[in-house]
Amino acid sequence: MITLRGLTKRHGGTVAVDDLSLDVEEGRVTGFLGPNGAGKSTTMRMILGLDHATAGTALIDGRPYARLRHPLREVGALLDAKALHPARSARGHLVAQARSNGIPVRRVDEVLETVGLAAVARKRVGAFSLGMHQRLGIAGALLGDPRVLVLDEPVNGLDPEGVRWVRELVRKQAGRGHTVFLSSHLMSEMQLTADRLVVIGRGRLLADLPMADLLARGASAPVHVRTADSGELQRLAGALRNADVTGDTALVARGTTASAVGDLAHRLGVRVHELRTLTPSLEQVYMELTAQSLEYGTSSEPKAGV
């Protein structure tokens, strides 16, 4: 379990992380979201003792990272997949890590097989692609079979098969009762992966909720309806307070529920061929939540003359 209490980091007059308190619980995948510059990487670096907090605490199972006797056995981390010596082989890099933490060298070959790098184990990592670097970084995180994983953008540079593999890997780790703290900018993938979401903006906590509860915080979900013919659609649309016709026999109703629309259609004698609630995507909810916390906003309209 990871526990943050009042965690704060200032760089001169800039507050990178502002009084952040949360619990990252075991047995689940906790997604960590926020715009660029929100303080996600800084928070993870403080958890791992790479940055010193200005105030507050970051504890792993009740202890700061610096007090862990064999940290790789307790915490697996991936922050920067390319932060290693380019002249070392993949296997040599992991062997050095294993020996520094009293981990049997046979474990190196096991994790290289797990991440799909066994065939290039003796190849210099300087020649690796970004995706291969990511896989090697994940191998390092898994090396000590730790109960806590801290992964910053682990799917960056991976192909679709690799993205799915990471998803299945972290779900399996959570299923073993381990703690997984995972950041990503891929909203669709995070929606498939995480059990709980922590969202920050400008260093402050914006949300800390189970996935379903966070999605429910979005605007009320619209209802999609498809009728038997256009005449029946028009009768139903006229009886609804807020409906947009989206096709000859389809509409989207807002400010109501699927049950209410179904009851109304029954009273009107309208034959409904399809009726479903359009659940908002994580991306939609995230954009609404962080709209006022963007460090680098962009305009959708090009400037004249550009």
Among 285, 284, 297, which residue's Cα sits nearest to residue 35? 297
C-alpha closest to that of 38 among 245, 214, 200: 200
E strand residue ranges, 112-188? 148-152, 179-183
Residue 34 contacts residue 293 (beta carbons within 8 Å): yes
Separation in Å, CA 21 to CA 3, 43, 59, 138: 8, 11, 11, 27
Q: Tell me the pairing of strands 204-210 and 196-201.
A: antiparallel
User: Could you list the pLDDT tens digit for every one of the 306 residues in the chain?
Assistant: 999 999 999 998 899 999 999 999 999 999 999 998 899 999 999 999 999 999 999 999 999 999 998 999 999 999 998 888 999 999 999 999 999 999 999 999 999 999 999 999 999 999 999 999 999 999 999 999 999 999 999 998 899 999 999 999 999 999 999 999 999 988 999 999 999 999 999 999 999 999 988 887 755 678 999 999 999 999 999 999 999 999 999 999 988 889 999 999 999 999 999 999 887 788 888 888 888 776 655 554 444 443
Q: What is the pTM of this model?
A: 0.81
User: How far is it, in rounded angstroms, from Cα 166 to Cα 54?
Assistant: 33
Asked if residue 255 lies in contact with residue 220, where contact means CB atoms within 8 angstroms, the answer is yes
How far apart CA 112 and CA 152 sit, in angstroms, is 20
pLDDT of residue 304: 44
Q: How far apart are CA 248 and CA 227, in angstroms?
A: 9
In three-state secondary structure terms, 63 is strand
- The yes or no reply on domain 2-216 and CATH 3.90.640.10 is no
Listed by start position, the domains of the chain span: 2-216, 223-279
What does the angle CA 201 – CA 15 – CA 148 come to, to the nearest 5 degrees? 65
